Each structure stands twice: as C-alpha cells, then as structure tokens.
Amino acid sequence: MVLPVKESAESTKVICIVCPKGCILEGRRDERGVTIQNGCPRGQEYAYRELQNPCRIVTTTIAVRNAALKRLPVRTSLPFPKRRIPELIDFLHTLSVEAPVRVGTVLMENLLGEPGVHLVATRTIERKSPSRETERQT
C-alpha cells in the first residue's frame, strides 16, 4: 500500500494495536510517498494514521464545586491529537464546574480549537446535601 506523504517521515516502527496480534509495521518514505510494510489492511490504515497524526481519547479529572466529591472525571468525545495532550491537560487543570453535573454533559466544545472534540463529563455528581443520605439513592 502506498500512501501520499504529508510530512517528512523517516523509517518509523509502529506497533499495531488494532487486534491482539500486535504486528510491527514499518513506515518508509521514498519519492512516491509513505509505504507501510507488513500487516493487514486494517493495520496499515492504523499505522498510516499513527504516522500522520496520532490521536488518543484523553481522560482526566477537573475540579468540581459544591459537591461531596472533589473531582469530576471527564473525557474527550473523540480522539485528540497526541502531540497536544500536555497542553490540553494544563488547560483542563484551570477548569472547574459547579455541581450538579450529569454524565454525558458536554462541558466545552472544540477543545483548544480541535473541531468536533468536546469535553464530556463521565460521572453524575450531585450537589452536596447538608445531611448525608444513606437509605435510598435517587
């Protein structure tokens, strides 16, 4: 499979994680573009993306106010560019939300300008109640 080259890439090894086989694919650059060696079509597609712009789902926590819990777990709705993850984490450290929050709520759209990548709450957190309830959760 020969793919067009977008940025200068030297021979790079990619461990494919699409299936448990874990093939090692090699991306090589020549005058025709990036050639991915070894692997099946699905793996080659993965390796191509890994060489172009690897992305990951990012999960972390942000501060939450007026809740019995201190941290709200969050995720990106779609994979986010790997090289910008440290920047994203630093940014998320500055955020805080007010309870109650429901799981699935979009807290912020287009994170750091990445189109379509939103910040989503992954847990429902109620507002802190003055007396702790033990009997039935609602």
Of the CA atoms within 13 Å of residue 116, those in its CB half-sphere come to 5
Q: How far is the CB of 30 from another protein (least distance, A)?
A: 26
Residues 112 and 87 sit within 8 Å (Cβ to Cβ): yes
Residues 26 and 43 sit within 8 Å (Cβ to Cβ): no
Kindly state whether residue 116 participates in binding another protein, applying the rule CB under 8 A. Answer: no
Kindly state whether residue 89 participates in binding ligand SF4, applying the rule CB under 6 A. Answer: no
Tokens of 69: 């819990």
Kindly state whether residue 35 participates in binding another protein, applying the rule CB under 8 A. Answer: no
Pattern 19-58, ligand SF4, x by CB under 6 A = x-xxx---------------xx-xx---------------
From another protein, ligand SF4, none, interface partner of 40 (C-beta below 5 to 8 A by class): ligand SF4
Distances (CA, A) of 21 to 9, 37, 45, 49, 138: 25, 16, 16, 19, 45
- Binding region for ligand SF4 (CB under 6 A): 16, 18-19, 21-23, 39-40, 42-43
